[in-house]
A = this chain, B = another copy of it.
Amino acid sequence: MNRPQSVEKMTQIIKKLPGIGPKMAERISYHILKMPQSEVNRLIDSINSGRQKMKYCRICFNLNESDPCPICSDNTREKNILCVVETPQDLIAVSKVKEYNGLYFVLGGALSPLDAIGPDDIKISQLIERLKNDKIGEVIIATDTDSKGETTALYLAQTIKPLGIKVSRLGYGLPVGGDIEYADEITISRAIAGRKEM
């Protein structure tokens, strides 16, 4: 006996969500089929209402419930320093750090030549335009430390420096609370290069 067609269809769609493999997609499909109708309604309502309420901030392209977003409308923030991140989730992570009180810019992804994602596919031209208009003095690049994030950081540095703006990248090193035994070689070598006198 094969998978019923309805399950097959749900599984095909659910497995396209990030981090979900085919087996897990099947398990989730059967789970949804057996859920009480009230729970299914809650799931669907949260999707529909979320999509209705969420909007991109026209200034920083953060995905949130207001435009401009609370950060861009916050007048107590330093206006001349900008932290560039890939996603709204990255913005939330950086915003937990009390030491940073500047503004943000969400690229909406990272450059990835292998996936044919170039500068026009993320918000690079909008970033450059903002840098020119808003008198930003420093840009902190906080893209991921994988190869896409690194490529993006390099491209941004090359594009932004000629505008006379200071560009920095988050420091590399050992994650706090981490065990050196389990750190990879590249991280350790970066941590040595970035060592601080005690």
* A contact set with B: CB distance below 8 Å: 1-7, 9-10, 13-14, 16-20, 24, 26-34, 37, 39-40, 42-44, 46-51, 53-54, 63-65, 70-71, 87-89, 91-92, 95
Contacts and interface: CB of A to CB of B under 8 A. Distances in A.
Given A27-B18, A28-B17, A47 B44 contact: yes
A92 B3 contact: yes
Q: Which of A9, A39, A87 is the most central at the interface, judged by chain B CB atoms within 10 Å of its CB?
A: A9
A17 B65 CA distance: 25
A46 B13 contact: yes
A7 B50 contact: yes
B33 A27 contact: no
Nearest to A16: B39
B19 A24 contact: yes
Given A27-B89, A32-B50, A46-B13, A65 B4 contact: yes
B65 A33 contact: no
B17 A31 contact: yes
Contact of A30 (B26, B49, B88): B88
A59 to B, nearest CB: 14
B54 A4 contact: yes
A13 B43 contact: yes
A60 to B, nearest CB: 11
23 contacts: A1-B71, A4-B53, A5-B53, A6-B50, A6-B54, A7-B50, A9-B49, A10-B47, A13-B42, A13-B43, A13-B46, A17-B32, A18-B27, A18-B28, A29-B50, A30-B88, A32-B50, A32-B51, A33-B50, A33-B51, A40-B47, A44-B44, A44-B47
